[in-house]
Chain A
Amino acid sequence: MVVRQKSDFPDSGRILKRSKPLMSDSALQDKDTNDAVEGKDKFEDMPNCVVLHTLSFMETKDAVRTCVLSKRWRNLWTGIPCLNFNSKSFSRLVDFRRFVVCVLSRRDSSAVKVLNYSRTGVDYATDQNLFNKVIDYVTSHGVEEIRVNLRAKGRGSPPVDIPLSLFNCVSLKKLQLKDCHPSKATWILPFEPPKHLLHLKQFTLDPTAPGHPYSFAGLANIFGFATLTTLNLCRLTLSFTGYETLNPFENCLNLKNLLLREIRFMLEPVPEDFVISAPQLNNLTLMCCRFFKCNLVIAAPKLISFNYLYAAPGAMFEFNIPSVHNFTINICEPQNKLGAPHQKPGEKTKHGLIKMFREGPEAELSFSTAVVSCGAVIMPKKKCPSCCRCQWKALNLRVGSTYKVFVNKLDQITAYFRHCSQHGEYDVLSI
């Protein structure tokens, strides 16, 4: 069972610095006269920090039992800087609870860098009291990463209260909430932002079963999106109060990586444009989101890559990015691994009016789709300054998908891009 998970934008931090290997450098250099070299290193000779490092990859239930290995190991487990609790390894939830409480009370005072807490409930509720105990403990022991999974067997993701201790945890950098609904986050933006010291770098919210809509402003406010470099929001409904142009991420000043997956947007009233723009955004991935009738405008000035997996045909994009270099756009249909294709073979998928404004980027456009409609329909919007000067470097049209459909108007498309391209050398690659 893998207890360490890699996030979508990998940044697997190290738990513990290892000590140097057993051999000292001077011993190595002195290769002829060295008597200390004798066969191989033994595991048992490993210093404690290496042993603790290995133990931190184990579930805590296994790590704790090393206490009976020998006298050296009796209390070694109390210093493991990682807590991996998984209720599935216990016959009954009450045993799980007892175990967790025992561990917390017998651990030494050293820091806990990572908490993985996974509790599968039997009903649509979680043990809030136990959750609070665990969070209170780790936040008072310098935790840096918390991953929570509270799957309920019956109806999916239970609601859970996030204890105040988490919001006051200065050390916490990564928070992942799966299969649960942080209940306070559904509230409308309160007048007074909560006073907390939380400065997250990475935040993931992924309740598997969608519940009540989340107020985006509430989420941003409670978890502090301004400090984030990575944000992953999956399988939930985000509600926004009506603006004519909606630009929810513009205050995420440090955001580099954004993943929105299977998000339904409740936009009341429906704005003309839904703008995704964050000043430092490098990577944007949209998977199977429903923007309904909005135009999606991508206006992040430092964007390097844009991946779009679409659910419903007919999405429209506008890219409003002044002079970006080496920009990759990848638009594709969901493959089989995401579930059955949403259309019968033979149907045409209409997708993607792509508009580029101002000085377009040196970009690589990659379509893995059936039909790309563009051409005469493209008109610059009246709000935008004049001409479209794109510098397309390459255009990859990946024709056909898992179920053979046709590309229509391919020469219109290529003519359009050729027309737009200011580049001397310009490639159209049919893959």
Chain B
Amino acid sequence: MAQEASSSTSSKTISLKTGDGEIFEIEASAAKQMKTVQRLIDDLGDDITIPLHNVFSKELPKIIEYYKKDITGEITKDFEAEFVKDLNDDEVKVLFLAANYLDANKLFEFLSQNIADRLESKSVEYVRKYFGVENDFTPEEESKLREERAWSFRGIKEDE
């Protein structure tokens, strides 16, 4: 339903430059869905190449692919399933962080759900590694904590 009213910007393309120096083009209407990009356009003008320091050439095409579908209103559950099917956990994480950086809400929500699905029933160690969390508990602290919180580990079906 997010169709833009047709205006002179609807066929315009915006140039985006990734952190590793590659340039990609997107439609102005797709750029509108990424609030960070739109803010930069508002400040810098739409003729200039917009720099995206924290997004790289590996992930940006995938993001552009998503929003290409979004502006034509074609995002379906099948498309979303297909979109993440061949991505490994790290690739999803990188996309997620990029979506957050770009303030691209729809993609961000979708990837949040996907990450939650991927982490379902995974072990603590796996989740820790995934989020990049450094364990700052001493072994004694950790075992004490696990004991205190035994209720959150008990009786749950595992499939690690």
Contacts and interface: CB of A to CB of B under 8 A. Distances in A.
Contact of A99 (B56, B133, B151): B151
B82 interface: no
Contacts of A272: none
B5 interface: no
A43 B97 contact: yes
A411 to B, nearest CB: 37
Interface string A6-27: 0000001010001011110100
Contact of A91 (B101, B120, B155): B155
Interface stretch (B23-31, B36-44, B66-74): B36-44
B7 interface: no
Contact of B134 (A55, A70, A98): A70
A41 interface: yes
B117 A1 contact: yes
A389 interface: no
B112 to A, nearest CB: 5
Contacts of B135: 69-70
A62 B119 contact: yes
B148 to A, nearest CB: 9
A406 interface: no
A99 B155 contact: yes
B116 A18 contact: no
A96 B101 CA distance: 38
Contacts of B115: 54, 57
A67 interface: yes
A68 interface: yes
B100 A69 contact: no
Given A61-B152, A68-B124, A73-B133, A18 B97 contact: no
B77 to A, nearest CB: 9
Contacts of B120: 1, 58-59, 62
A4 interface: yes
A53 to B, nearest CB: 6
25 contacts: A1-B120, A12-B109, A18-B105, A21-B54, A23-B54, A25-B43, A28-B36, A29-B40, A41-B101, A42-B97, A43-B93, A43-B132, A46-B97, A57-B116, A57-B117, A64-B149, A68-B124, A68-B137, A69-B124, A70-B128, A70-B137, A99-B152, A99-B154, A99-B155, A102-B151
A30 to B, nearest CB: 11
B113 interface: yes
Nearest to B52: A28
A267 interface: no
Contacts of B153: 65
B149 A67 contact: yes
Interface of B is mostly: helix
Interface in B64-112: 93-94, 96-97, 100-103, 105, 108-109, 112
A58 B134 CA distance: 21
A416 interface: no
Given A70-B137, A95-B156, A54 B53 contact: no
Q: Which 5 A-B pairs have the closest CB atoms?
A: A95-B155, A57-B116, A58-B116, A21-B101, A64-B152
A64 B154 CA distance: 12
Contacts of A3: 116
Contacts, number: 144
Nearest to B115: A54
A68 B100 contact: no
Contact of A31 (B51, B117, B128): B51
Contact of B145 (A20, A37, A46, A67): A67
A240 B103 CA distance: 50
B100 A50 contact: yes
Contacts of B94: 40
A74 interface: yes
Contacts of A21: 36, 54, 100-103
Task: Give the interface centre of A29, A59, A67, A68 by most chain B CB atoms within 10 Å.
Answer: A68
Contacts of B105: 14, 18
B155 A98 contact: yes
A402 to B, nearest CB: 21
Nearest to A1: B120
B133 A57 contact: no
Nearest to B43: A29
A25 B39 contact: yes
Given A21-B101, A99-B151, A68 B116 contact: no
Contacts of B131: 43-44, 69
Contacts of A377: none
A2 to B, nearest CB: 7
